[in-house]
Amino acid sequence: MRQLVARSMFWLVWTRAGINVVSILNMIVLARLLSPRDFGLAGLAAIWIELISALAELGLGAAIIQFRDLEPEDLNTSFWLTMLLGVAGYGALFFASPALEGWFNAPHLSPILRVASISLLLVCARVVPDGLLRRDLMLDKVAKAQVAGSFLGAFVGIATALAGGGVWSLVDGALVASLATTCGTYAYCRWRPGWRLDSGQFGAIISFSLAALGTKLIFVLQSRLDEFVVGKTLGQTPLGFYLMARNLAMMPVDRLSGIVGQMANSVMASVQTDRGHQADLLLQSTRLVAVVSFPICIGMLLEARALIAVALGPHWISMVPVFQILCLSASFRSIMILLPPLLASRRRQWFLFAYSCVTVTVLLPSLWVGAHIAGTIGVASVYVLVYPLVGLWLAHETLRSAGIARLAFLRQLAVPAGACALMACTVILTHVGLDAADVTAALPRLLISAIVGAGTYTGMVLCSGSPVVAELKMVFGWVLRPLGRRSAHP
């Protein structure tokens, strides 16, 4: 088990690191070339594309991963059904785009949505080969296709922006990224679609996929609620500021969840009959994630003004308060992503579905009220004030299923939380000293504060005596393990 986890960690960390670097650089460059309204328009289109994509996929990707004995006819049927739904979804968005443009009061949304929706067909086209690669644990090939897509998409997007393409640089970049990922997926997967559709177990596949579809749809809806509310109530420019703040604040957590989520589902499922082992894994992963995510989130909160000024430019400074609130929310979210895999391994899918439905029901009116009272700051505040309250239900059920006492779980957060508190004090004192020395330039302030904060946090963790220090060394060993040594342990 440890060798398998180490192998997966190696590929996931390094490919995600490459995608992270490309994403950050792409975001920084485009933020300096485009306006917040451009990002808002692209965000409005993305809401509907992601929702219709989830419907068109029909949960078949998850079914392919779980069904190990699929015949070629089963795969062909899945492919053509997905493509049929994809074409229908594209047609629906194509003809509905003028109405959506009017409803959101967003000029030029219609042509953007019609072109950007082509990515829906590309996503549907790779559902089957992507599922086959994941089923056979070829995560390295999945990751290579994603990295190629990220690089090409960023290149095309930046080139279009430099040529004065405006919002179309975001559309073109996303389309090229999706096209390259799809082509890469087919290049690594030997399967090709055929015309024989006589499927013997398609009923079982559909039954499973529909259950997965419901959960995925609710998740997509939950993740896009804030964009929907901001876009509808406040307009494209506030949405652009909000999206940039959210993407920057959540980027470390989202990338971390990509690694942890892919591994946790498999690892928890493999030890689902050993309740004690599951509890130990949850506590260990909580320590590891918290010790990495907490300082990043709190550090960005403390250095928000200098970070945004240096990275994005002065015209984005107005998003600082929203960004700081979302950084605080991101630290909580980084722990919440660890809980569902354990419940899923214990066959609590219906609870997870009910939890997601309750979360959407609570968040929608809360976000709407927050937007009308305090704009984007009100929307961001909902994720700090309301979302954790709903999350307590998920935490309670997870800890109860694992047999973990609440106090034992909270103890895993003590060292990173205490180290972050000390780090915050030293960074604030550093700011006072820099003010006294009349250091006003954003870059020197950011570098000095980051070095002081990182040194304080690292020293506190190393001196804590927590087992997380040894665990971090073990994980770094997996991440840095040379490819030759790794291949010796299949």
Instruction: Convert the pLDDT of each residue in 341-361 to its tens digit.
Output: 888 777 677 788 888 889 999
pLDDT at 81: 87
Contacts of 99 (CB under 8 A, 6+ apart): none
d(CA 303, CA 449): 8
Q: Is pLDDT of 488 > 50? A: no
Longest dimension (CA), the chain: 77
Specify the range with the lowest mean pLDDT, choosing from 439-443, 457-461, 463-467: 463-467
pLDDT at 138: 73
Share of the chain above pLDDT 70, in %: 84
For residues 168 and 113, is the Cβ–Cβ distance under 8 A?
Answer: no
pLDDT at 233: 93
Give the closest residue to 89 by CA, choosing from 57, 42, 64, 112: 57
Specify the range with the lowest mean pLDDT, choosing from 59-68, 191-200, 238-247: 59-68
Confidence of residue 387 (pLDDT cuts 50, 70, 90): confident
Contacts of 267 (CB under 8 A, 6+ apart): 1, 5, 281, 341
Q: Does residue 388 sit in helix, strand or coil?
A: helix
Between vectors from CA 414 to CA 411 and to CA 417, what angle results, nearest 5°? 150
pLDDT at 322: 96
Share of the chain above pLDDT 90, in %: 43
The stretch 478-487 carries a mean pLDDT of: 50
Q: Residue 353: what residue type?
A: F
The stretch 367-393 carries a mean pLDDT of: 93
Tokens of 323: 């960004």
The stretch 158-166 carries a mean pLDDT of: 93
More confident residue, 59 or 443: 443
The stretch 179-204 carries a mean pLDDT of: 82
For residues 278 and 345, is the Cβ–Cβ distance under 8 A?
Answer: yes
For residues 248 and 27, is the Cβ–Cβ distance under 8 A?
Answer: yes
Confidence of residue 484 (pLDDT cuts 50, 70, 90): very low
More confident residue, 49 or 219: 49
pLDDT at 220: 81
- Count, residues in the chain: 490
- pLDDT, averaged across the chain: 84
Select, from the ranges 10-14, 142-146, 151-155, the one with the highest average predicted confidence (pLDDT). 151-155
pLDDT at 112: 94
Q: Is pLDDT of 6 > 60? A: no
Specify the range with the lowest mean pLDDT, choosing from 102-111, 201-210, 375-384: 201-210
Letter string b/e over residues 382-409, b meaning 16 or more CB atoms within 10 A of that residue's CB: bbeebbeebbeebbebbbebbebeeeeb
The stretch 6-34 carries a mean pLDDT of: 74
Q: Is pLDDT of 137 > 60? A: yes
pLDDT at 334: 87
Letter string b/e over residues 115-151, b meaning 16 or more CB atoms within 10 A of that residue's CB: bbbbbbbbbbbbbbbbbbbbeeeebbbbbbbbbbbbb
pLDDT at 159: 95
Burial environment of residue 366 by CB neighbours within 10 A (0 to 12, 13 to 18, 19 or more): buried
Looking at the chain, the number of H-run helices and the number of E-run strands are 22, 0
Confidence of residue 317 (pLDDT cuts 50, 70, 90): very high
37-47 pLDDT, tens per residue? 999 999 999 88
Specify the range with the lowest mean pLDDT, choosing from 27-31, 268-272, 431-435: 268-272
More confident residue, 130 or 376: 376
More confident residue, 277 or 287: 287
Give the residue carrying structure tokens 């015949």. Answer: 71
Confidence of residue 485 (pLDDT cuts 50, 70, 90): very low
pTM listed for this prediction: 0.82
The stretch 437-443 carries a mean pLDDT of: 89
88-102 pLDDT, tens per residue? 999 999 999 999 999
pLDDT at 267: 61
pLDDT at 142: 80
Tokens of 70: 């699929």
Confidence of residue 483 (pLDDT cuts 50, 70, 90): very low
pLDDT at 264: 59
